[in-house]
């Protein structure tokens, strides 16, 4: 079983919808959590970076971490066609063998005009 | 400001051939990384560097070598390419270790 699980989708939503993207993980040592956006045939770009539990908001994006459930989410409000991309979660521990990032396999999102 | 630049963008190799992928960053970052991305596998770390003259193994280092002779450049070498190394390769850099912030555009490598 992978340490980080992410539903590959594809996920299609109408423009303006609220999108919820999720990852689950098994390593309780993970404390840093990231979300990346990757457009087709491009490199990933870092969207959100959070430490430990709680919420973090940046414009239309909100990252949520629930360490007790080993579950992280990325919410996109008022989704736009330009949000169509693959979203990757990534996470790591502070110390020990899991200090390097472990990535989910990505969720493909399409926002329909 | 170019960020992270990878060359080449595409390459086809025959089994057993060698090649070097070049990564250059202009942000003065200490930390640089090489990843491969395969369908359904996510990004997997091959090698990384914590500064000029240093390299370290990641999750999948076998069959690859790296060098960081200059702070701005990180080279990934394949000495004897195998079909299993067909993948998309990404270089990344960051100001903090294990917080990959900037990725290059990728190199699509096919080994036949």
Query: Chain B contacts of A44, Cβ < 8 Å?
Result: 43, 90, 103
Chain A within 8 Å of B96 (Cβ-Cβ)? no
Q: Are B87 and B30 in contact (CB under 8 A)?
A: no
Helix (H, G, I), strand (E, B) or coil at B83: helix
Of A36 and A100, more confident? A36
CB nearest B98 (choices: A44, A99, A105) = A99
pLDDT band at B96 (very low <50, low <70, confident <90, very high): confident
Main-chain phi, psi angles of A82, to 5 degrees: -70, -10
Residues present in chain A in total: 113
pLDDT band at B2 (very low <50, low <70, confident <90, very high): confident
Chain B within 8 Å of A10 (Cβ-Cβ)? no
Chain A segment 50-79 residues within 8 A of B by beta carbon are none
What value does the mean pLDDT take over residues A16-28?
96
Average pLDDT, rounded, for chain A:
93
Say if strands B107-111 and B10-13 run parallel, antiparallel, or are unpaired.
parallel
How close, in Å, is residue A33 to chain B by CA atoms? 10
CA–CA gap between residue A22 and residue A64 (Å, rounded): 9
Main-chain phi, psi angles of B109, to 5 degrees: -110, 130
Say if strands B73-78 and B19-25 run parallel, antiparallel, or are unpaired.
antiparallel
Give chain A's radius of gyration (CA, Å): 14
DSSP A3-64: SEEE----EEEETT--EEEEEEE--TTEEEEEEEEE-TTS--EEEEEEESSEEEEETTEEEE
Total CB pairs under 8 A between chain A and B: 49
Per-residue pLDDT for A43 more than 70?
yes
- Are residues A43 and B99, on separate chains, in Cβ contact within 8 Å? no
Q: What is the pLDDT of residue A98?
A: 66
Q: Which residue of A has its CA nearest to B37?
A: A105
What value does the mean pLDDT take over residues A102-113?
96
- Are residues B90 and A44, on separate chains, in Cβ contact within 8 Å? yes
Q: What is the pLDDT of residue B70?
A: 96
Say if strands A11-14 and A107-112 run parallel, antiparallel, or are unpaired.
parallel
Nearest to A26 by CA among A54, A7, A53, A5: A5
How close, in Å, is residue B90 to chain A by CA atoms? 7
* Close Cβ partners of B11 (under 8 Å, ≥ 6 residues apart): B19, B107, B108, B109, B110
CA dist list (Å): B72 to A27, A92, B23, B89, B107: 34, 25, 8, 18, 18
CB nearest A43 (choices: B40, B97, B105) = B105
Nearest to A76 by CA among A113, A33, A35, A45: A35
């Amino acid at each position: 079983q992978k340490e980080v699980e992410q539903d590959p989708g594809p996920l299609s939503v109408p423009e303006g919808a609220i999108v919820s993207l999720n990852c689950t993980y098994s390593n309780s040592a993970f404390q840093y959590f990231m979300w990346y956006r990757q457009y087709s045939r491009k490199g990933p770009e870092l969207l959100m970076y959070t430490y430990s539990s709680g919420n973090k908001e940046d414009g239309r994006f909100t990252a949520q971490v629930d360490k007790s459930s080993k579950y992280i989410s990325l919410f996109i409000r008022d989704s736009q066609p330009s949000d169509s991309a693959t979203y990757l979660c990534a996470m790591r521990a502070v110390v020990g063998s899991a200090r390097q990032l472990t990535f989910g396999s990505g969720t493909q999102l399409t926002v329909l005009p | 400001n170019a960020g992270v630049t990878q060359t080449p963008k595409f390459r086809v190799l025959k089994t057993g051939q060698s090649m070097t992928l070049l990564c250059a960053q202009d942000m003065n970052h200490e930390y640089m990384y090489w990843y491969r991305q395969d369908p359904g596998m996510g990004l997997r770390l091959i090698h990384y560097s914590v500064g000029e003259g240093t390299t370290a193994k990641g999750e999948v280092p076998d069959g690859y070598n790296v060098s960081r002779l200059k702070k701005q450049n990180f080279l990934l070498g394949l000495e004897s390419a195998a079909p299993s190394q067909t993948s998309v390769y990404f270089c990344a850099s960051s100001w903090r270790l294990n917080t990959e912030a900037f990725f290059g555009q990728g190199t699509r490598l096919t080994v036949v």
